Amino acid sequence: MIFTPRRLRRAGLTSAPARPKYRLGAILALPLLAGLAAGPSAAGEQTPQVTSELRGRAVSTLRDVLERQERWVKVHAAEFLLGLDYPEGVEREFTEELERHGTEPEYRIGIWRVLAKAAYDPRENRRFIARIRDVFLDSAAPDRLHAAETLAKLGYAVPQETGPTGGGQPERAAFERAAGGGDSMAVYARWVLLNSDPRRDDSPLAEMLSSADAGVRGTAAYAIRHLASVSPATQRALASAAAGPRDSAAEIQLVCAMAVHAPAAQRGEWLARLRESAATADARHRYHARQTLAQLAGLADLALLSRGLDDADADVRAASAYAVLRLGRRARHRLFGIDWAVIALYALGMLAVGWFYSRRTSTADDYLLGGRKMNPLSVGLSLFATLLSTISYLAYPGEMIRYGPMVLAMIVAYPLVALIVGWLMIPFFMKLRVTSAYQILEMQLGLGVRMLGSIFFLSLRLLWMAVIIYATTDKVLVPLMGLTSAATPWLCLALGAITITYTSMGGLRAVVLTDVVQTLILLGGAVLTVVVITLHLGGVANWWPTAWPAHWPEPRLYDPNERITFVGIVLATFTWWVCTSGSDQMAIQRYLATRDTRTARQVLITTLGANVVVNLLLTCVGFSLLAYFRLNPHLVGDGQTILGDADRLFPQFIAVGFPAGLSGLVVAGLLAAAMSSLSSGVNSSSSVITVDFINRFRRKENQTNQVRLARYVSVVVGAIVVALSAYVGVVQGNLLEVTYKVVNLITAPLFGL
């Protein structure tokens, strides 16, 4: 479908010649052409800290240690390789070790630990962890201490289930008994209990730093060093313990822990001591210091770490190689000036659309429903863009990478959705000619139920919009742009301000047109990703999977114990679409913006069709990203793995894989996914507040004042959402997952009303 000026006028998107849109399209195309003309380059300012030759040498060192060394040195090399996404040969090597040494106390724990980490199948992973746990629960086992340490390092959390008789929790009781002692076993037991504590109270571990036994103090420091963060009280306890004699058995662990957790003003001092330890004559000290430098080292440490590849001690060689490879992953990637120009032009284009339609909106119907005569193709793409947030745009390729294409079964539900919604629900909505979906509730059930439905909707969408703003800025844009978390509130404000401005100025017509443009941009970003990777790898055949990878769960028709099954995803998709289409103002508003039932039905079909296209396209993005990063594991972010951080690979590729200018275009695609959802949410919330609360209880104004009032309401709604987004990050826990569960929990009751 070509958007000619005549068709745009017929769509109700413009009443004047479309030259401004052609100028806007030309402006948006300029950065793309400039980026292509610039040719391939790194998508950021990066200094090559680790050359490909040095990287190859480090990987070879780890493989040599894995194949030639024995017992715990072999275990350490295997864990380093797995953590850096070089898994080839590890599982095979330790399967053989399991056959040879699987019954030997102590070393069997290391074998099980490696095989648990190497297992792609979650059930296989749980099987090896269960073996380790059983050793800990066996009070007579000679390697119980090793089992406790391994469980702690694996992040094992004690399950909350009760015992077989319902009287107590025997496993938790065993850990609590062990934690009550004063030895290293108590340290590891407290570490496991910390993994199980939603409050993340680290004070029990900090208490062990005051032990009279230097070995226990060292074990406590070792545990604390592995924590992502510590409380100020634990920081002080650590500093107090580290002030002790430099020749104690705990010294190296205390130095490592302080280098990781010391206040910023003191960190330089402890890093200097860490470097001293990395060059000492004590091989144990060199090993732990270099393993810690893997997390902290900068370019100045590269020479020290490189020399370690020739160390006489195999464990030190492995730790040095690990540190070199992690240092290479910390190369900084930033956007070029041309990328920022693309983003700026995109934002200006959206504002221009809002300004253009602000002069062409004269009635409340124009502002809230586009005059009820909008083109179904445009409105359908708008509804699609509304329901596809940045989170979904990034998560779908991650789903493909980690779990495979089983989620594509949702497409099977679309024909049934089209039948039920298009031929049963949409005719009902169009017959009533309402503005707010919740006016229907008052007709059937009274004013109170209408108010309840409106409040449900506003609660759902205000929270949803706040999460989208926060997630887009803090989880995507901040790391992608090389900024710190301190920039998050300002980016939230900028993103919200631009969206609020064009939405409040132009109303639904501006929202729909910008959604169409944003749909094309986000589609373009996905297509560009596939094209660039295809060119890099030498053809589609080099990234298209020809066999079912071992880490993808086997497809199942139905199994209530599985994460995703064919029947489960089809039912979930059908239920969600029916509930959303039948209760959400953002969807119903789109149907009401068209002339009649037939065109409203076309909106739904267009939306479902766009979903199919994008689902298939993002599937290709996921497949190609998996192949790209498997070939280039050194480009994965530091501390991340391909499968463990699959959702982050798309933004990571934007930073490292695109030429200058194209990175900015794909970032604009990410912004488009967020802004399309926000603009629709703001406009729909404004219509609900205006119609269900203000107009319902006050004298109706003339059309000019109604439009002005709706614009004011849009601004207020947007300001509330931006303010809420500033507090999203302070809530503890996996907020995004919890929020979407809450949102989906509200969707069905709202439909039930």
Q: Residue 753's pLDDT is what?
A: 61
Other C-beta atoms closer than 10 Å to the C-beta of 482 total 14
Look at 123-132, 282-291, 295-304, 504-513 and tell me which has the smallest mean pLDDT. 504-513
Q: Residue 735's pLDDT is what?
A: 47
Question: Tell me: the pLDDT tens digits for 612-628?
Answer: 999 999 999 999 999 99
Other C-beta atoms closer than 10 Å to the C-beta of 443 total 10
Q: Which residues contact 139 (CB under 8 A, 6 or more apart)?
A: none
- Assign 309 a pLDDT band (cuts: 50, 70, 90): very high
Residue 597 structure tokens: 């039932």
Pick from 506-520, 559-573, 581-595 the range whose average pLDDT is largest: 559-573
The answer, yes or no, to whether residue 39 has pLDDT greater than 80, is no
Residue 347 structure tokens: 């934002």
- Assign 150 a pLDDT band (cuts: 50, 70, 90): very high
Look at 120-129, 277-286, 561-570, 698-707 and tell me which has the smallest mean pLDDT. 698-707
Distance between CA atoms of 751 and 453, rounded to whole angstroms?
Answer: 9
The CATH class that applies to domain 5-45+332-724 reads mainly alpha
Sign of CA dihedral 230, 232, 237, 241: positive
Question: Tell me: the pLDDT tens digits for 526-558?
Answer: 899 999 999 999 999 999 998 888 888 888 898
Other C-beta atoms closer than 10 Å to the C-beta of 450 total 22
Question: Tell me: the pLDDT tens digits for 230-261?
Answer: 899 999 999 898 887 776 788 889 999 999 99
The answer, yes or no, to whether residue 10 has pLDDT greater than 50, is no
Question: Tell me: the pLDDT tens digits for 400-429?
Answer: 998 899 999 999 999 999 999 999 999 988
Three-class DSSP category at 566: helix
Overall average pLDDT of the 334-346 stretch = 83
Question: Tell me: the pLDDT tens digits for 345-399?
Answer: 888 888 887 787 776 665 666 665 566 677 888 888 888 887 887 778 888 898 8
Question: Tell me: the pLDDT tens digits for 351-366?
Answer: 887 787 776 665 666 6
3-state SS of the chain: helix, strand, coil percent to 5?
A: 75, 0, 25
DSSP secondary structure string, 476-514? IIHHHTT--GGGHHHHHHHHHHHHHHHHHHHHHHHHHHH
Other C-beta atoms closer than 10 Å to the C-beta of 428 total 11
Distance between CA atoms of 674 and 302, rounded to whole angstroms?
Answer: 40
Give per-residue burial for 722-737: e unless 16+ CB within 10 Å, then b: bebbeebbeeeeeebe
- Assign 487 a pLDDT band (cuts: 50, 70, 90): confident
Distance between CA atoms of 380 and 376, rounded to whole angstroms?
Answer: 6
The answer, yes or no, to whether residue 738 has pLDDT greater than 60, is no
Strand ranges (E), 661-738? none
Are the beta carbons of 378 and 595 closer than 8 angstroms? no
Q: Residue 391's pLDDT is what?
A: 76
**Residue 634 CB-density burial (10 A; 0-12 exposed, 13-18 middle, 19+ buried):** buried
Other C-beta atoms closer than 10 Å to the C-beta of 490 total 11
Residue 433 structure tokens: 């000619």
Question: Tell me: the pLDDT tens digits for 77-92?
Answer: 999 999 999 999 999 9
Are the beta carbons of 653 and 480 closer than 8 angstroms? no
> Which bin fits 201, alpha (ψ -120 to 50), beta or left (φ > 0)?
beta
Q: How many helices (H) and strands (E) does the chain have?
A: 36, 0
The answer, yes or no, to whether residue 752 has pLDDT greater than 80, is no
Distance between CA atoms of 216 and 414, rounded to whole angstroms?
Answer: 61
Are the beta carbons of 381 and 60 closer than 8 angstroms? no
Q: Kindly list the distances between the CA atom of residue 555 and the CA atoms of 402, 405, 567, 568, 670, in Å, as whole numbers in the listed order.
A: 14, 9, 11, 12, 31
Q: Residue 249 has what DSSP assignment?
A: T
Closest CA to 158 of 169, 168, 167, 147: 169
pTM: 0.80
Torsion, Cα 594 600 605 608, to 10 degrees, reads 80
Helical segments of 168-301, H only: 170-179, 184-195, 203-207, 214-225, 232-242, 251-261, 264-278, 283-296
Are the beta carbons of 649 and 625 closer than 8 angstroms? yes
Higher pLDDT, 153 or 667: 153
DSSP secondary structure string, 660-674? TTHHHHHHHHHHHHH
Give per-residue burial for 49-58: e unless 16+ CB within 10 Å, then b: bbeeebbebb
Percentage of residues in the chain having pLDDT higher than 90: 34
Distance between CA atoms of 306 and 392, rounded to whole angstroms?
Answer: 41
Distance between CA atoms of 326 and 634, rounded to whole angstroms?
Answer: 8
